[in-house]
Amino acid sequence: MANKERNKRSARKARAEARAEREAAQLASTSANGSKSKKSAQQSKAVATKKDKGERRGPFKRIRGYFADVRTEMHRVVWPSRAELKNFTFGVVVMLIVFGVAIWLVDLGLVSLLSVFAGMRG
């Protein structure tokens, strides 16, 4: 199960690197030509029209769009396996105990110092 998740992550990483290389190559070619290509001009125009449409949408369409985006992102989430979840939970509980004891000891030391200090003054 863990190998499957690792494979998914590495495939996503490889796609992201390939995408970054393509974008860098496109950027280099457009800067070498000195002008935007027809495709990048169309993309810029599409982005501008999307922004314009986004401003004119009603509140219910914006809310529906928000929940559609949430749903899309939830499908992209890589959920931990049962074993990973147990390990993470155990780690959190152990750290809570460790920090709780540390704070208790510091509190105990401060209280004893204050009592000694108050005892000397009184």
Whether residue 7 is found in the same domain as residue 26: yes
Pair (90, 117) in one structural domain = yes
Distance CA 96, CA 102 (A): 10
Question: Tokens for 46?
Answer: 């599409």
Amino acid (1-letter code) at residue 112: S
pLDDT, one tens digit per residue, over 45-95 is 555 555 555 467 788 999 999 999 999 999 999 999 999 999 999 999 999
Whether 75 and 87 map to the same domain: the answer is: no
**Average pLDDT across the chain, whole number:** 82
Domain count, the chain: 3
Given this model, what pLDDT does residue 3 score? 79
Cβ density class 85-113: b for 16+ within 10 Å, e for less: eeeeeeeeeeeeeeeeeeeeeeeeeeeee
What are the pLDDT digits (tens) for 113-122? Answer: 998 888 865 4
Other C-beta atoms within 10 Å of 70: how many? 10
Structure token pair of residue 33: 């030509």
Q: Are residues 58 and 31 in the same domain?
A: no
Structural domain containing residue 53: 40-79
Of 90, 88, 81, the residue nearest 3 (C-alpha): 81
- Shared domain for 6 and 25, answered yes or no, is yes
